[in-house]
Amino acid sequence: MDIKTAHFKKAIFAPVSLAANTLFAASDAINDIARYVHYFKVANLEFKPRADDIFIVTYPRSGTTWLQMILYQLATDGSMEIDHIAQKVPWFERLIDYRIWNAKDFEAMDSPRLFKSHLSAKDMPKGDCKYIYMVRNGYDVAVSYFEFYCSHLGFKGDFDDFFKKFIDGDVQFGSWFAHAADWKAMSKTSDSIKSSQILFLKFEDMKNDFDCQLDKIINFAGFKIPADRLPEIRNRCSFKFMKQHEDKFDHITSQIWEKGYKRSSFIREGKSGQGKRRFNLEQETNFQSLLKKFHIEEL
Ligand code: A3P
């Protein structure tokens, strides 16, 4: 490349690159606004909370899945003939955000509806329903979240890099400090929710005295659990049992379910000449005219 061409390319490159970056930033911002407006519409205007709904709310890595399993066991016969816990205790804001569910889908759920959520106190839909917030020691959350970032989100930094992001709230679900503080404040005094609607739990108490916390949950939710079911519930909610059945709780499988993917459907039939049978007459006529238009009747 001669010097003139190199200078010309350099002179063009800087403004084009600046324009591209500005457009990307603007499109990200518009995208964020559209997502928020969509969330607000479905969650706050269309979704109708019921008195026996229970929202399980946490900052990520604080025992959300554990609580999902506990509530599922308490609210149903707890059958493990499920593909994933997300089918029974779906992730409220995610199904809205991914545009997978609308208000009608939520309406079609049987009561008591159980939801998982990482929403902040401000963004949580308010209604005459119940909320269980579980907080976990922030040091443990930071380490568990770092490990999750590395194992599931392709994070390549070390713990110090992650720590800076965590402290600044520059992670998926914002500041752990603000999340925990806002929910704690809302569990005490709030204009929009009565404090009796919120059960505030600690992960550490669940570890130290599971039975006592289980009792609290049962009383708060108003479940009637026969004493002879408790040993099975205790066993199924143990770390050992959940680890053994990890595919029914893990993040990857929940995404498969949330997005409606079907397993074993990618390498499908591998046959030839079967496609046309699916077309109706109108579709076939349309198709034929395009083959003609592009001169590819015979390939
Ligand atoms: P660690 O990474 O410290 O092991 P969440 O479901 O909110 O993402 O939380 C995940 C954390 O809860 C993980 O913590 C996980 O091991 C822990 N956990 C999940 N089920 C548990 C159980 N039955 N007993 C104790 N901890 C559990």
State the pLDDT at residue 104: 96
Q: List the chain pLDDT tens, one digit each, 299 residues.
A: 677 777 777 778 888 889 999 999 999 999 999 999 999 999 999 999 999 999 999 999 999 999 999 999 999 999 999 999 999 999 999 999 989 899 999 999 999 999 999 999 999 999 999 999 999 999 999 999 999 999 999 999 999 999 999 999 999 999 999 999 999 999 997 778 898 999 999 999 999 999 999 999 999 999 999 999 999 999 999 999 999 999 999 998 898 888 888 888 889 999 999 999 999 999 999 999 999 999 999 88
Is residue 85 in contact with ligand 1, taking CB distance under 6 Å? no
Distance CA 160, CA 145 (A): 13
Q: Distances from the Cα of 125 to the Cαs of 141, 160, 206, 236, 270, in angstroms?
A: 25, 35, 26, 30, 47
Residue 159 DSSP symbol: H
Distance CA 145, CA 155 (A): 11
Q: How many helices (H) and strands (E) are present in the chain, helices listed first? A: 13, 4
Residue 258's closest CA among 37, 93, 69? Answer: 93
CA of 236 to the centre of ligand 1 (A): 14
CA of 64 to the centre of ligand 1 (A): 8
The separation between CA 298 and the C-alpha centre of its own chain, rounded to angstroms, equals 48
CA of 242, closest atom in ligand 1: 23
State the pLDDT at residue 43: 94
Residue 134 DSSP symbol: E
Q: Six-digit token pair at 240?
A: 């050992």
Contact by Cβ (8 Å): 229, 75: no
Distance CA 125, CA 119 (A): 9
State the pLDDT at residue 1: 64
Is residue 190 in contact with ligand 1, taking CB distance under 6 Å? no
Is residue 250 in contact with ligand 1, taking CB distance under 6 Å? no
In this structure, how many other beta carbons lie within 10 angstroms of the beta carbon of residue 289?
Answer: 10
State the pLDDT at residue 65: 98
State the pLDDT at residue 257: 83
CA of 147, closest atom in ligand 1: 2
Q: Which residue has the tokens 């609210």?
A: 75
Residue 166 φ then ψ, to 5°: -65, -45
DSSP H/E element including 208: helix 203-208
Distance CA 146, CA 225 (A): 37
Among 118, 152, 179, 295, the active-site one is: 118
In this structure, how many other beta carbons lie within 10 angstroms of the beta carbon of residue 197?
Answer: 19
Is residue 239 in contact with ligand 1, taking CB distance under 6 Å? yes
Looking at the DSSP bridge assignments, the partners of residue 117 are 57
State the pLDDT at residue 64: 98
Active site residue 118: yes
Please tell me the residue having the least CA distance from ligand 1 atom 25: 239
Is residue 49 in contact with ligand 1, taking CB distance under 6 Å? no
State the pLDDT at residue 6: 74
CATH architecture for the domain at 47-293: 3-Layer(aba) Sandwich (3.40)
Is residue 66 in contact with ligand 1, taking CB distance under 6 Å? yes
State the pLDDT at residue 131: 97
